[in-house]
Chain A
């Protein structure tokens, strides 16, 4: 009998141990765990586990839900937000999370010397941009105010339909300013870091792994089922894939795409839409790209279906629109593959066989086998349909960034991933003076529509404004050639529960658990 009990206890203990540790490959070594300096996906995954904002993401559909704030109130004009902090919200050292923590953290983000990555997202708050630019010296004039330890009031400069979504975004997470002052640049080291999320930092083994353990002071700790999260920092995807097959990884968020045919047969493979678009930029300051008919000719001559079906093969969707469907937005279709129309547009442009002679045009891409294949395919399509000679040229990432920023290119490979669940995260980059525009395109009608969309409070009208903008962007006066919509591709063990496919590839660790009973 005693042996039997021992056996059961042993079995139980191994089951519990096995169920509590979740291992995934986070890809690259995180640059930092400071939420206001973070900009990469691998860091965001960890920050979402370590910290919690006023609101948090629903794991299924990413709608904002209670986080540190247990409830909130929005004024009728959509400018005043009041957040009521959960009195049980605590830091991992047991001290309560207060409204003052948010005020101090956001003040830090709005200080130029911090060099916060997403500081522009704060500019929707009243006077925030003026404070940042030094036009206001007193932070008390900025629309962030702690009425008492449990009440935070925020005043916006104009209504913002996605403001609640931002409240769950990493840039708005609170940090412990007192510990930052105490430990300076070492405040994110495991022995110094104090966080308010479902997990806390246990170990940081550089270029190996980051180990998080359950934060027992977290207000919702009883619903956190994982005891430990191991984020591996293996940047060789092939190695990580072998480890998944060997059984030592539970979740592989990226796969070696050259083995896609083999991987697709694995029942653990998953694919779902992603909030990102792969496209080409045209430099419209250079001839012949200043000619809208010439640009349209190239767009009509591009068969994206053959790229997604024959080259990528991972479920990517060939598209003629720029912004993915998000927050009720339905993209406007642009110019589909149509060789006849392509030749007509070329004729209208005055270039080509019957018009002005064209020197070879160049496609610039950052060094990658996949980008190379796509560029060569498009070059051959343009040659075939329009008779244009095209050369493709690769550059190392930083050189490519520098060249595209200076508009030293004709056609450049590009991509854009949305930061938050609203179409404005896509459309705002093509404002004439935006540093992410990088096409030389400055359409006054588009800029005007963008301004209108930013202040429009009627959701239906706002989405219509975005559609009008997209029509300009992909059909009427296109500075870009949309190619395909990104997908989330990865591998997940069948016993991983509480993990849901979603458009932003955000999977809060708080809800994940392992069920190995079957």
Chain B
């Protein structure tokens, strides 16, 4: 119980530090939310600075922001003229999560299948093909793979829409683009995990006892072989859900990734804080769950 409590205290502290550092860093960045090519009248910028308390000392601003944030008020977007940050997050987080969830399922399906096939026929033509493709998958950036998929499946074959967000068909190409590097890593992890297990004595024993190949792989080998994939799954989920910016841009998915990056570029102070806090909470929760799972599976961890 003490272990769980300590982990939660640790997570809250991390979030507090994250919010404070982000607040200071975005304020220190040159340029402000109201600077634009066609300069606004000085009185207009003064009025805006006053409205959002930017005319006050930075510590006072920090205090006001933290008090509001703790009471659930994340402020308004300075670029999207007074739209509440919470409303922007509620609108744009679900597409990112949905896209991430489909991508992770696709990555697991493709990656694990390729890894198993490779491990069953090591150093064969199939193995070389699978591992060769996985190297391409890891090195091919989304801004190349995405447009390639768009051109082939949407423009030439007309099977799927080029871009947009609405139904499952709109999500297929973006989630495949997002899944590719993760599927490639899963394939390599699965292959090495399976090869290690397949060479162990209990597999040989099972084989000699006449266990059928399908049952041997699914029941006996897979349980041990999938462990490296499981250990990578936590960081992969966090990374896939928070790192979908390029894919969102190419496929016009209204996700939170674009809001996050655009808010930083626009010096949209409150939106930067809101998105950082949301991503921070998400990553901290993912890590907490993974820590708790390890503790449940291996009680020795609780002693540390």
Q: Hey, which bits of chain A sit against chain B, CB under 8 A?
A: 29, 31-32, 34, 37, 39, 112-117, 119-120, 132-133, 185, 205-208, 232-236, 238-239, 242-243, 245-246, 248, 396-399, 401-403, 405, 415, 435-436
Contacts and interface: CB of A to CB of B under 8 A. Distances in A.
Contacts of B243: none
Interface string B52-90: 000000000000000000000000100111111000100
B216 interface: no
A132 to B, nearest CB: 7
B37 interface: yes
Contact of B51 (A31, A115, A236, A435): A115
Given A115-B51, A235-B249, A239-B251, A132 B267 contact: no
Range for the number of chain B residues in contact with chain A: 35 or more
A206 B254 contact: yes
Interface string B261-300: 0000111000000000000000000000000000000000
B92 interface: yes
Given A37-B81, A185-B82, A236 B249 contact: yes
A181 to B, nearest CB: 15
B250 interface: yes
A491 to B, nearest CB: 15
Contacts of A405: 35, 39
Nearest to A205: B254
B43 interface: yes
B241 interface: no
A398 B265 contact: yes
| 6 tightest A-B CB contacts, nearest first | A398-B31, A207-B254, A32-B81, A435-B39, A402-B31, A185-B82
A133 B163 CA distance: 48
A248 B163 CA distance: 10
B81 A120 contact: no
Contact of A116 (B44, B76, B267): B44
Interface of B: 29-32, 35-44, 46-48, 51, 76, 79-84, 88, 91-92, 147, 150-151, 154-155, 158, 161-165, 249-252, 254, 258-259, 265-267
B260 to A, nearest CB: 12
B254 A398 contact: no
Nearest to A245: B155
A120 B31 contact: no
Contacts of A119: 41, 43-44
A234 to B, nearest CB: 5
Nearest to A398: B31
Given A37-B81, A242-B155, A248-B162, A401 B36 contact: yes
Contacts of A243: 162-163
10 contacts: A37-B81, A114-B47, A116-B44, A206-B88, A207-B258, A233-B252, A239-B162, A239-B250, A242-B154, A399-B30
A129 to B, nearest CB: 10
A233 B91 CA distance: 15
Given A239-B150, A402-B32, 19 more contacts: A31-B81, A37-B81, A39-B36, A112-B43, A113-B51, A117-B40, A117-B44, A206-B88, A207-B252, A207-B258, A208-B164, A239-B163, A239-B250, A246-B154, A248-B161, A398-B35, A405-B35, A435-B42, A436-B38
Contacts of B51: 113, 115
A242 B267 contact: no
A405 B39 CA distance: 9
B81 A34 contact: yes
B265 A396 contact: yes
Contacts of A114: 47
Contacts of B35: 398, 401-402, 405
A233 B165 CA distance: 12
A415 to B, nearest CB: 8
A32 B80 contact: yes
A31 B266 CA distance: 12
A234, A236, A245 pick with most chain B CB within 10 angstroms: A236
A232 B166 CA distance: 13
Nearest to A25: B252
Nearest to A116: B44
B92 to A, nearest CB: 7
Given A117-B44, A239-B162, A396-B265, A31 B80 contact: yes
Contacts of A29: 80
A436 B32 CA distance: 16
A232 B164 CA distance: 9
Contacts of A238: 147, 250
Contacts of B42: 435
A245 B161 CA distance: 12
Contact of A401 (B37, B80, B81, B259): B37
B255 to A, nearest CB: 8
Nearest to A438: B39
Contacts of A435: 39-42
B47 A112 contact: yes
Nearest to B83: A185
A206 B91 contact: yes
A275 to B, nearest CB: 14
Contacts of B155: 242, 245-246
A234 B31 contact: no
Contact of B267 (A37, A206, A207, A398): A398
Contacts of B164: 208
B146 to A, nearest CB: 9
Contacts of A120: 41
B38, B42, B48 pick with most chain A CB within 10 angstroms: B38
A206 B80 CA distance: 11
B152 to A, nearest CB: 11
Contacts of B36: 39, 401
